[in-house]
Amino acid sequence: NKKPIINFNPGPAKIDPSVLLRAQAEILNFQQLGISVMEMSHRSADFAKILNGAKATLTQLLNIPENYKILFLQGGATAQFSAVPLNLLQRSPNCSADYIVTGTWSAKAVKEAQKYGKVHIVHQPLEKYSRVPEQEEFDLDPEAAYVYYCDNETVNGVEFSYVPDTGNVPLVADMSSNILSKPVDVSKFGIILAGAQKNIGCAGVTLAIIREDLVGYCMKQCPTILDYKIQIGMDSLYNTPPSYSIYLMGLVLEWIQNTGGLLSMAKKCVLKSQLVYSAINESNGFYSCAIEDGSRSRMNVTFRIDGPAGDSELENAFIEESKAANMIGLKGHRSVGGIRASLYNAVTLEETQFLVNLMMDFQRRHS
Ligand code: PMP
């Protein structure tokens, strides 16, 4: 099987080959030190250079203001579903937070927050996760500790096209599946969270960008490892950090910088997703996407075959054909079924075109 794999995995996901080749070249002997990054002390000056380098590149890419701290944490974005309420809820007099729920992952975040305080969902419940509510639909509590949302719902394929306006209440965003796919005005956010394994590296490290003034309100029972103030005080080194994953993130960040930065990533993401959405729109209903225009994700394109309810036989046939064409990762999340194409930063336009070609060919043969 010599043809290259086309990787549409939802995460862990494709990493640009140039990044992996560089990691390979450095794996045994990092910068003439005679050891691997994996074998390096996390308290050494050499590792500090790696950590600070990743922070500096990220600061440049996102233009992060000085009053924000960058943390490299463990436990995935899932651990942050707990860390956010544990660290912030006590900022509010009634220990309450506002949540916007547009899909699987924000719903999970609500469940964790409910363990520690009051959760107010700020819009009418969405029957199906098929759209992002509009700003006018939000009933925000000015005394909430924070407003939480997920900028891109990986399972459902729903993405915000705007930043919610929450006034003086800090906004917390889970950007696990679209971080660094577009320029973002960091100053609009209290906290930005993202697991690395989709757009910025490999599993094991979670990025947190935190506005300084939000720390110091942590609940007594918060595990030390989740306490932002302690993690900031120790520069992410309270315990042994996921050092190799941080190193790899640094390489991915440099790759983004060297390939044109966030504007270039954003352009590419629009082009790629438009290719697939156009194939769906122009299929006379053979393919259908349940997500409303304006809420369709640029990162995770979800669709059904042969009508909105899907035909599982045809969908299975499509998955089998895609595998035969060396494409992987196209099966929809087990909770929703259908097809999902994850088009993260490292997926190329050419690879996306292969998928579209398969879609058009499949439709010709099956309709
Ligand atoms: N949030 C989003 C948007 C995700 O896509 C995921 C993972 N698919 C998570 C949170 C959870 O991340 P982890 O598995 O790293 O905890």
List, for residues 243-275, the tens digit of each pLDDT value.
999 999 999 999 999 999 999 999 999 999 999
For residue 365, how far is its CA from the centre of ligand 1 (angstroms)? 36
**pLDDT for res 198:** 98
- pLDDT tens, residue by residue, 188-246: 999 999 999 999 999 999 999 999 999 999 999 999 999 999 999 999 999 999 999 99
For residue 207, how far is its CA from the centre of ligand 1 (angstroms)? 12
Ligand 1 lined by 7 (C-beta under 6 Å): no
Which of the listed CATH numbers 3.40.50.720, 3.30.300.130, 3.90.1150.10, 3.30.70.3000 matches domain 261-366? 3.90.1150.10
Q: What is the ipTM of this complex?
A: 0.99
Ligand 1 lined by 77 (C-beta under 6 Å): yes
CA–CA separation, 269 and 272 (whole Å)? 5
Ligand 1 lined by 196 (C-beta under 6 Å): no
**What's the average model confidence in pLDDT over 323-339?**
95
Residue 205 vs residues 39, 76, 188: alpha-carbon distances, Å = 17, 7, 24
Q: pTM here?
A: 0.98
Ligand 1 lined by 159 (C-beta under 6 Å): no
CA–CA separation, 164 and 151 (whole Å)? 10
Q: Ligand 1: which of 9, 72, 78 to mutate, judged by most atoms within 8 Å of the beta carbon?
A: 78
- Compute how many other C-beta atoms are within 10 angstroms of the C-beta atom of residue 3: 7
**Does the pLDDT value for residue 1 go beyond 60?**
no
Please name the residues in contact with 192: beta carbons below 8 A apart, sequence gap of 6 or more.
172, 173, 175, 179, 184, 186, 207, 208, 209
Ligand 1 lined by 274 (C-beta under 6 Å): no
The confidence band for 282, taking pLDDT boundaries of 50, 70 and 90, is: very high
Delimit the CATH 3.90.1150.10 region(s) of the chain.
Answer: 261-366
273 and 299 Cβ atoms separated by less than 8 Å = yes
**Does the pLDDT value for residue 367 go beyond 90?**
no
Ligand 1 lined by 176 (C-beta under 6 Å): yes
253 and 200 Cβ atoms separated by less than 8 Å = yes
Residue nearest to atom 14 of ligand 1 (CA): 76
Tokens, residue 81: 């579903």
Ligand 1 lined by 174 (C-beta under 6 Å): yes
- pLDDT tens, residue by residue, 138-176: 999 999 999 999 999 999 999 999 999 999 999 999 999
- Compute how many other C-beta atoms are within 10 angstroms of the C-beta atom of residue 328: 14
Residue nearest to atom 3 of ligand 1 (CA): 176
Q: Which atom of ligand 1 is nearest to the CA of 175?
A: 3
17-258: CATH topology: Aspartate Aminotransferase; domain 2 (3.40.640)
295 and 131 Cβ atoms separated by less than 8 Å = yes
Q: Ligand 1: which of 106, 111, 176, 336 to mutate, judged by most atoms within 8 Å of the beta carbon?
A: 176
For residue 12, how far is its CA from the centre of ligand 1 (angstroms)? 10
CA–CA separation, 234 and 227 (whole Å)? 11
269 and 294 Cβ atoms separated by less than 8 Å = no
Direct distance between the N- and C-terminal alpha carbons of the chain, in angstroms, rounded to an integer: 30
Delimit the CATH 3.40.640.10 region(s) of the chain.
Answer: 17-258
Is the alpha carbon torsion for 143, 145, 151, 154 positive or negative?
Answer: negative
